[in-house]
Each structure stands twice: as C-alpha cells, then as structure tokens.
Amino acid sequence: MKRVAVVEDNEDNRLLVAAILGGRYAVEEYADGPAALAGLAASPPDLVLLDISLPGLDGVEVLRRLRAAPALAHLPVVALTAHAMAGDRERFLAEGFDDYVTKPIVDEVRLVGAVSRLLGDPA
C-alpha cells in the first residue's frame, strides 16, 4: 500500500484525511513542520499533504526545505489550505506545490482525485 503523509496541526483535519484516504493508502500523520521534516527524511512516503498555515514553520517553508533535500525533492506535495482566494492556485503552484485542496475537506472526491492523479492510481 502506498503511503501518504499528512502534515496538519488540526487533529480533526488529520482524522478526516485518514478517514477519507485510509482505505486506499497508509496515512501517516504529523502535527507540525519540524516533526514532519524529520519523519519524512527518515522514511519518505509516496506523497505529502501539507497544511499551509502551520504554526512556527509554515507549509511554504516546509516545502522549500523538502525541495532542497535531494532525497525528498521529488515527492509530490499537495497544499492544504483554508483559503480559496482568487489566484491562490497559481500562487501555490508557483511555490512548487503539485496541487492544492481547500479546507474544510468537504469534497472527498477532490482530495482522492488529487492524490490518485499524482500517484498514478485510478480515482
């Protein structure tokens, strides 16, 4: 089973992601950026779901550090964000995210679609 890491400080959102993806993927949870960077480096997953508004080290900075690490630079990373403002999609893609999903994660089809597309799995 492919492994998806979710980096998200809100426990309810981590549980929601695990509930939606759990039947298809092994979901690994991290509550903050430093823990995620350490865990991902020790055992890289197949894909990362990364909250933008993490306390301390935010999602954009975590992404920059992932992209700077040779062993992790190739990982597909999907931004999770509570913001859905005009231009956000372009901004996140320009930062180096592979896709983004808005929170609340009310559309599980969108989340499953983004993950399966990037992993080459059937939706």
Partner 1 sequence: MLPGACPLSPGAARPDSPTDHPHRSRPSAPPEARLPADDALDPAALEKLERLGGPGFADRIVGIFLRDAPGHVARAEAALARRDGAELAYAAHALISTAANIGATGLEALVRQLERDAQAGAWDALPAQVARLAAAHASLAPRLAARPPAGDA
Residue numbers of the site for partner 1 (CB under 8 A)? Answer: 9-13, 15-16, 19-20, 53, 55, 82, 103-106, 108
Least distance in angstroms from the C-beta of 12 to partner 1 = 4
Nearer to partner 1 by Cβ, of 21 and 75: the residue is: 21
Q: How far is the CB of 21 from partner 1 (least distance, A)?
A: 10
Give the tokens for residue 99: 């896709």
Check: CB of residue 66 under 8 Å from CB of residue 98: no
Question: Taking the complex as a whole, how short is the minimal distance between the CB of residue 16 and partner 1, in angstroms?
Answer: 7
Q: How far is CA 73 from CA 9, 14, 15, 19, 39, in A?
A: 23, 23, 26, 27, 15
Determine the Cα angle at 80 with ends 48 and 37, to 5°.
40
Q: Name which of 28 and 81 has its Cβ closer to partner 1.
A: 81
